[in-house]
Amino acid sequence: MVNLTVDNKQVTVPKDATIYDAAKSAGIKIPILCHDKKLHPFGGCRMCLVEVEQMKGRLIPACTTPVTEGMIVRTSNDEIVKARKLVLELLLLKHPIDCPVCDAAGDCDLQNLTYEYKVNCNQFVDEKFNHEIDYVNPIIERDMNRCILCGKCARICDEIVSYGAYSVINRGLEAKIGTEFDGPLNCEFCGSCVSVCPVGALISRPFKFQARWWALSKTKTVCSYCGTGCQLTLGCKDNKVLTTVYDEDQGFHNGQLCHRGRFAYQFVNSDKRLTTPLIRKNGKLVESSWDEALALVTERLTQAKAAPASLAALSTAHLTNEELFLFEKLFRGTLGTDNIDHSAGFAHAALTEGLKASFGTVASPSEILDIQKSNLLLVIKTDAYETHPVIGFEINLGVKRKGVDLRIVSDKRGKLGKLPGAQTTVHTPGSELLLLNALAKVIIDAGLADAAAPGLSELKAALAEVSLEKAAAATGVSADEIAKLAKDYAAAEKALILLPIGLGYPGHNAALAEACANLAILTGKYGKEGTGLLVMGEKNNSQGAADLGIHPKASGLNGSAIIDACISGQVKTLFVAGENPVVSYPNRAKVEKALEAVDFLVVADLFLTETAQLADVVLPAVSFAEKSGTFTSVGRKLQQVKQAVKPVGLAKSDFEILNTLNAALGGQKYLNQSELFAEIAANVPAYAGLSQAALGDEGKLLPVAPSAKLVPVAAQAAAPVAGKLALVTGSALYHSGTMSRFGEGPMLVCPNAYAELSAADAKVLKIEDGDAITVKSDTGSVSVTAKVGYRLPQGVVFAPYHFGEGSINAVTDGKAVTWVTVGK
């Protein structure tokens, strides 16, 4: 620690702190334009000039100067103010000062400092810039005339997002922030650059001219897309969510968001939202009152109560913990059926079955912060970036700042593999299990296994048959590479495995989670900082749904079995809360048949989705912005969701819907959702002793006590079918689940279903980028747009599953790999 004096205040800070950090810790504000706490110090704007007693004669930039013992710093005197004023005058010389029409006004660092330092006139005269403004881009509008060249956009894109869309181009007065070859911006559109821009040079186009910054009411809440659990601030006006407001002090991610989080909030106030209940009369869905709709649902559920086996319920993991708990109470408690599941258990079986078997708990034994604390990261599928982009940013930071050794085991290459030093092991599609078993085998054979690992002998016996050569042949990875990866993993002091799961990844099942856990347990890499296994649930509350047991416990049917039972006629009444099985569950034709076969289908959703269109009763539910409650994120972080706007039309929260039904069917009636949280805290061990009020803005990390056990996993490679391509499904970077289709940003950037082919296959099949192609399997066929790239190995096709039109589940059937033919 270093002691210094800042404005007569004694400050003690770590030795790697700068003067700016020291002043900040003492509560002294030094003005900055180019500095950002997430980025490396830059020292470009010279606004933070201070005087240091020991370095008199010139002013020192506070943001780049490290502290030294006994330093005496003055952050403000006449000379400093004069220097800062001069900086502002020079910046304002070129700045257009079009504050009345600039969206940044009110939230503009340059405007605020100009006001604070009373820069009313300018001693210099010069012409303004005349750069062309980029109006073409649908997401980010770039007006380089307003730019003050702080370089924050270029640095955040490089350092954290690791995309590098921007750079300073040209020299001297001509210098500006440009894209490659000064062409159009074509990036991940995460909007990090927009969030850090101190002026209005980069603005969000969907929010352009919508409202003034000061007129927005700001509500801190949690994003409702993926499981990362990013905190975000919703900017609302006139009961509408208009934008997401950047707050650099929010969450582990310091306000960083991905494309979905920042630009896909419009689904809340979409015109397509359901505003009134619908009942099917004479084959058509017609508007009705809540009383009529709920009376009908109550009547049919009362009938079903007599035969609980004929009743099933599916829920999405987008609901809050309180709602999920009530969902379980209603169906398992009041109605007595065990046929309940969320996002199809097969998508979350890695948590509910895999981790349960390996660690005795349904939660990952690691948290997101472990990523940067680790020495070696083993990422299963490069798609971890696409499914959870903000966790991807953590990986970027870990690799680039902390020197984490990144190893990726994947069936395709991807962005993570481009990080410095990252090594991608590309295996044949569907051979993850074989590869992981081979890794375990190498670790055991090399004597690197922890002899005290529980279940070691069983695992040894189970792996006796595994041979490195056979595995190498089946996975397409050389034996040396497998051996090296295994040894490096075992040798790393701290190693963490990341496993994304979700509806797009049927192969990421319980067995794969167990195989991953085996590696961690074999080498004793769990239960300590920077180690373990992080199973990344797909939805914002996947972890909560697993914790609360929204899956069959005894003899009940899981998601896929429910669909089968609907067809066989065993299930006659189906309640679907927020789930869209028609698009997201495998085998669309089968799901549609099942939903048509079922006698009575109730769907509670925000939109008239493909599933809701088949329903007998549709109940309008509300989004995360219209209700309060809690979500549990990937790293077991329990966070509060706060209501920002009033429900649209007559829509009611799932809590209200389920509460009314529960009371009508003889269950308990709750006054509000927080009453349910108290019950969760009393019944679910991990939530014991917690209260909503105590969560605060930060949230709480739920405890986990893993009791590890090695679980032998049988592995079989997907046998190649001659003349066919291997189709693997997954997530597109811009989408999450099927809800992002109702957000503006994702639909502007990635509106249509596509299938990605390798350039080699495309050449053979004479398919060019953008062609309409047909993907055909034994299950069915679908027409999508072709995307030709270099990241896929020959023989592999990748398709995201989010789209309703051209949905890839028309050809898949719940297997890790689907063998397809592709043609025009």
Question: Which residues are near another protein by CB under 8 A?
Answer: 99-101, 105, 133, 135, 208-212, 214-215
CB 221 within 8 A of CB 231: yes
| Least CB distance to another protein at residue 102 (A) | 9
3-class DSSP assignment, residue 113: helix
What residues does 231 pair with on adjacent strands? 222
Tokens 């403004």 map to which residue? Answer: 133
CB 227 within 8 A of CB 543: yes
Cα–Cα distance, 145 to 130 (Å, whole number): 6
| Least CB distance to another protein at residue 265 (A) | 19
| Least CB distance to another protein at residue 101 (A) | 4
Of the pair 208, 824, the CB lying nearest another protein is at 208
Q: In this structure, what DSSP letter does residue 381 have?
A: S
Cα–Cα distance, 261 to 389 (Å, whole number): 10
Of the pair 215, 721, the CB lying nearest another protein is at 215
Q: Which ranges of 26-108 does DSSP label H, i.e. alpha helix?
A: 78-94
| Least CB distance to another protein at residue 210 (A) | 8
Cα–Cα distance, 318 to 183 (Å, whole number): 39
| Least CB distance to another protein at residue 141 (A) | 8
What residues does 408 pair with on adjacent strands? 379, 424
| Least CB distance to another protein at residue 440 (A) | 59
Tell me which H or E stretch contains 597.
Answer: helix 588-597
CB 736 within 8 A of CB 228: no
Of the pair 106, 455, the CB lying nearest another protein is at 106
Of the pair 102, 471, the CB lying nearest another protein is at 102
Cα–Cα distance, 577 to 340 (Å, whole number): 11
Starting at the edge strand that comes first in sequence, how are the strands of the sheet with 217-222 ordered? 217-222, 231-237, 240-245
CB 375 within 8 A of CB 530: yes
Of the pair 46, 237, the CB lying nearest another protein is at 237
Of the pair 173, 215, the CB lying nearest another protein is at 215
Cα–chain-centroid distance for residue 70? Answer: 45
3-class DSSP assignment, residue 642: coil
Of the pair 62, 119, the CB lying nearest another protein is at 119
| Least CB distance to another protein at residue 216 (A) | 11
The tokens of 351 are what?
A: 């948590």
Of the pair 2, 748, the CB lying nearest another protein is at 748
From residue 664, alpha-carbon distances to 296, 301, 305, 656 in Å are 11, 10, 12, 12
Neighbour count for residue 98 (Cβ, 10 Å): 13
| Least CB distance to another protein at residue 212 (A) | 5
| Least CB distance to another protein at residue 193 (A) | 20
| Least CB distance to another protein at residue 137 (A) | 12
Neighbour count for residue 214 (Cβ, 10 Å): 8
Please provide the DSSP assignment of 651-684 as one string.
---HHHHHHHHHHHTT-PPPSSHHHHHHHHHHH-
CB 416 within 8 A of CB 440: no
Of the pair 132, 465, the CB lying nearest another protein is at 132
Neighbour count for residue 672 (Cβ, 10 Å): 12
| Least CB distance to another protein at residue 802 (A) | 29
| Least CB distance to another protein at residue 157 (A) | 24
Of the pair 266, 818, the CB lying nearest another protein is at 266
The tokens of 545 are what?
A: 């749904």
Of the pair 216, 546, the CB lying nearest another protein is at 216
Cα–Cα distance, 488 to 472 (Å, whole number): 17
What residues does 174 pair with on adjacent strands? none
Of the pair 101, 714, the CB lying nearest another protein is at 101
